Amino acid sequence: MKAFLCAVVLLCAAACAAARAGFPAPQATLDAEQAAVARQVLVMLRLPPQHYRPDAAYGSNYPNDGGQAARRRVALELARTHGLKLVSNWPMPVIGVDCYVMEWAGKEPIEPVLAALARDPRVEWAQPVSLFQGLEGGDPLFRLQPAARDWRLAELHRASTGRKVTVAVIDSGIDLEHPDLAGQVALHENLVDAGATVAEAHGTAVAGVIAARRDNGVGIAGIAPDARLMALRACWETEGKPARCSSFTLGKAINFALMHEARIINLSLGGPPDRLLQALLDAALARGVLVVGAIDPQRPAGGFPASHPGVIAASAAAPAAAHGAIAAPGTDIPTSLPGGRWGFVSGSSYAAAHVSGLAALLVELRPGASAPVLHQTLREQARLAAQHDTAERGRKGGLAGSMDTCALLARAAGTCVCPCSLRSALSPPSLRQPAPGYCAGEASTGKAAGTISSRAAALPPPC
């Protein structure tokens, strides 16, 4: 079993190398460290008693048999005998051993090698290398987030958190003092009236999905928790009614976002085509700004601005592919609400917020990439997933509308972000590989349409 797990990690390394061909990337270390640790063992050789230790400040011509050079010769002989490579060592006199790190290059299970080392009289003991992690406060509602499960969000955050990427949330008012949003808003402006920014439900919920603080001991974790939010109130709410916006307030907000160099604009709203907003969106796209819009399933072509050319359309509903949209989590999403509260929300507004957060992760990894390239990267990954899921629907009951976010970030980072997002990472867009994210023997997750899944829920844990 362990050999299988380690082979999986080695395949990930191959996937990363192939991914670079399709999307050149900086030198990656994330999974290289995991792969190296998975192949390593620790071999303890006994140190001689303290007063007989010639390599511990002994100045006379003492025989070398018990010294460091002799132990190294023994270690090299052990490595050759058992098919290992000597990597490093560190004497630990407080416990009387010299600890040697050796690397296993074989494909067979490593347990027999460890057992053979343990039987050797020259070896004090041998063991695999273990991995540990820091214990942080965490987010109590994290496990309830669909993105935590389907997008493997914790693993994505090891590669990118959207650091320093400015996302303009053009929406109703955001609760700037909410525990999950305090300090997350770099700039805010009320473009509805002359009053102060007020805390309203829709804007606060959208902002939480995008950039809620992580590991702060409360609430949730945003998709891009280190992004810088630009909170632009262009919509208003009345009791019991959805948020309302006008083309004027929205126009002011888009203009403000462009004047203050937003990298991503989130528009979790929909309505009829509008010439002013069309012109502003064209200006945003010409400046290289990524614009994300929510699909309105009640309107032709998904409504505006999602239908505007160049806008990244997002939907929580099954017909997402019909509108050329990216399907994202949008049902029963835990997120922040005004008054320091949390609650569950549903709708394409929150699917758009997920995609904006995902775009921020990409921008951090690829700050120099153009908006069309990033947009095409998202669309291509979604297309591959839809193509694969459509085939799976007839074969195994899978449903269309999922995307391997691990493979998506792997292409941008140049390294395997999650264990075993193999086929998408191996295949650049030109290869049209129709099976994203599947490892050998992996079963379909059977997720419902409208979710973005890493397609790796059935995988064993990483080596």
Question: For residue range 169-208, what is the model confidence (pLDDT) as tens digits?
Answer: 999 999 999 999 999 999 999 999 988 889 999 999 999 9
- Of 421, 118, 170, 401, residue with least CA distance to 294: 170
Whether residue 375 lies inside any domain: the answer is no
H or E segment to which residue 369 belongs? none
Whether residue 396 lies inside any domain: the answer is no
At residue 187's C-alpha, the angle toward residues 377 and 363, to 5°, is 15
Could you tell me if 235 and 243 are in contact, meaning their C-beta atoms sit under 8 angstroms apart?
yes
Same domain, 124 and 203: no
Distance of CA 61 to the CA centre of its chain: 58
Alpha helices in 132-227 (DSSP H): 146-150, 153-159, 201-211
- For residue 60 the two structure tokens come to 């006379």
pLDDT category at 150 given cuts 50, 70, 90 is confident
Q: Give the pLDDT of residue 128.
A: 80
Q: What is the pLDDT of residues 400-414, one digit of tens each?
A: 346 788 889 988 888
Q: What is the pLDDT of the chain when averaged over all its residues?
A: 76
Same domain, 232 and 343: yes
Q: Is the peptide bond before 273 cis (omega within 30 degrees of 0)?
A: no
Of the spans 132-136, 163-167, 303-307, 450-454, which averages the highest pLDDT?
163-167
Q: What is the pLDDT of residues 214-230, one digit of tens each?
A: 999 999 999 999 999 99
Q: What is the pLDDT of residues 249-295, one digit of tens each?
A: 888 899 999 989 999 999 999 888 888 889 889 999 999 999 999 99
Euclidean distance between the first and the last CA atom of the chain, given in angstroms as a whole number: 10
Same domain, 288 and 358: yes
- Of 314, 262, 313, residue with least CA distance to 288: 262
Distance CA 315, CA 330 (A): 8
Q: Give the pLDDT of residue 322.
A: 57
Work out the average pLDDT over 101-109: 82
Could you tell me if 350 and 292 are in contact, meaning their C-beta atoms sit under 8 angstroms apart?
no
Q: Give the pLDDT of residue 1.
A: 41
Given a cut of 80, whether residue 146 has pLDDT beyond it is: yes
pTM: 0.65
- Active site residue ranges: 171, 202, 349
Could you tell me if 82 and 43 are in contact, meaning their C-beta atoms sit under 8 angstroms apart?
no
H or E segment to which residue 348 belongs? helix 348-365
Q: Which residue has the higher pLDDT, 13 or 419?
A: 419
Whether residue 32 lies inside any domain: the answer is no
Domain that holds residue 325: 142-365
| Eight-class DSSP state of 380 | H
Domain boundary among 301, 331, 365: 365
Whether residue 289 lies inside any domain: the answer is yes
Residue type for 395, please? R
Same domain, 124 and 154: no
Domain boundary among 93, 128, 163: 128
Distance CA 357, CA 207 (A): 10
Could you tell me if 183 and 229 are in contact, meaning their C-beta atoms sit under 8 angstroms apart?
no
Domain boundary among 333, 365, 397: 365
Same domain, 217 and 89: no
Q: Among the listed ranges 330-334, 385-389, 438-442, which one has the minimum average pLDDT value?
A: 438-442
Same domain, 149 and 237: yes
The DSSP annotation for 269-309 comes to --BS--HHHHHHHHHHHHTT-EEEEE--TTSGGG-BTTTST
Q: What is the pLDDT of residues 53-102, one digit of tens each?
A: 445 444 333 344 458 899 999 999 999 999 999 988 878 776 888 889 88
Whether residue 6 lies inside any domain: the answer is no
Could you tell me if 266 and 356 are in contact, meaning their C-beta atoms sit under 8 angstroms apart?
yes
Same domain, 230 and 283: yes
Same domain, 171 and 119: no
Same domain, 228 and 278: yes
Q: Which residue has the higher pLDDT, 439 or 290?
A: 290
Q: Give the pLDDT of residue 51.
A: 54
Q: Give the pLDDT of residue 141.
A: 86
Q: Give the pLDDT of residue 93.
A: 78
| CATH number reported for the structural domain that contains residue 44 in this entry | 3.30.70.260
Q: Give the pLDDT of residue 254.
A: 92
- For residue 344 the two structure tokens come to 């569950």
Q: How far is CA 428 from CA 42, 125, 378, 412, in A?
A: 38, 46, 13, 11
Same domain, 105 and 212: no
Q: Among the listed ranges 106-115, 290-299, 329-338, 339-348, which one has the minimum average pLDDT value?
A: 106-115
| CATH number reported for the structural domain that contains residue 162 in this entry | 3.40.50.200
Q: How many domains does the chain have?
A: 2
Q: Give the pLDDT of residue 91.
A: 81
Q: Among the listed ranges 8-17, 46-55, 259-268, which one has the minimum average pLDDT value?
A: 8-17
Q: Is 223 exposed, middle or buried (0-12, 13-18, 19+ CB in 10 A)?
A: buried
Work out the average pLDDT over 101-124: 87
With H, G, I as helix, E, B as strand and everything else as coil, classify residue 251. Answer: helix
Q: What is the pLDDT of residues 16-32, one digit of tens each?
A: 333 333 433 333 333 45
pLDDT category at 320 given cuts 50, 70, 90 is low
Given a cut of 80, whether residue 124 has pLDDT beyond it is: yes
Same domain, 236 and 312: yes
Distance of CA 439 to the CA centre of its chain: 18
Say if strands 290-294 and 312-315 run parallel, antiparallel, or are unpaired. parallel
Distance of CA 63 to the CA centre of its chain: 56
Whether residue 259 lies inside any domain: the answer is yes
Q: How far is CA 172 from CA 116, 232, 255, 320, 365, in A?
A: 66, 8, 16, 25, 29
Given a cut of 80, whether residue 328 has pLDDT beyond it is: yes
Q: Give the pLDDT of residue 413.
A: 86
Same domain, 185 and 333: yes
